[in-house]
Amino acid sequence: MTNNIDPVEIEKIEIENTNEIKPAKTEKVKAPKNPVIQNDISRYKKNKFAANLALLGLALGCIYFLSLYSQVNNEKFYYTWAIAFDVIYNLFFLLFVFLFSEQVKNYKRKLFPFQLVLGALQIARIFWLPLSGIMAEKIDIGSFLLMTIALAASGACIIASAVIGFIRAKAVEDFEKKVENGEIDLEGELKKEENAGGEVNA
């Protein structure tokens, strides 16, 4: 005696088996970072972004005076006291910008006004030797544009470095004062983070 199995029933069983509900994948959601912990970490991290902006401004300043000094043989137009003063100024420029980069890296803001002034002077220099050269038709438009862009970008980077450095230094100083005054319980926040199983990192 043979069992008659309906092929339609077999197909229904296969379809039902393929429609089994699969468990949903659970994704781990990172807990938001504790702002107190992040501020504490900032005290021990270097402000590299602002420092690198200052160094970029220094590099752009180098591009400017290399372009300028390549023009000194142009009918002796730049053989004046002005070029001698510019050489001396550039030596101080290199020294001070490097000093500024170290200041902002370590969250110091005492030299903030001087850094702003130096950045503004970079932009103002466009209207001195580069402008006099193009007005006297002693340099070509390409050289003038290169010097102008280099000076403007150099000044902008130095000013941006000063502003960012000032803001971050002020935030670190305010946080340290609150910790010292007892307004922020740093040890308590660290314990909360450990109990919650959070990772204390940047």
Question: For 101-157, what is each residue's pLDDT tens digit?
Answer: 999 999 988 899 999 999 999 999 999 999 988 898 888 899 999 999 999 999 999
Integer angstrom CA distances of residue 106 from 29, 48, 50: 34, 9, 10
Whether the CB-CB separation of 40 and 175 falls below 8 Å is answered with yes
Q: Residue 172: what pLDDT?
A: 85
- Give residue for tokens 């006099």: 132
pTM exceeds 0.95 for this model = no
* List of the chain residues with pLDDT < 50: 1, 29, 200, 202
One-letter amino acid at 192 equals: K
- Which residue blocks in the chain are alpha helix, DSSP H? 7-18, 35-42, 48-69, 81-105, 112-124, 129-135, 141-181, 186-195
Please check whether residue 170 is in contact with residue 109, taking contact to mean a CB–CB distance below 8 angstroms.
yes
Tokens for 129, please give them: 């030797």
CA distance 155 to 60: 9
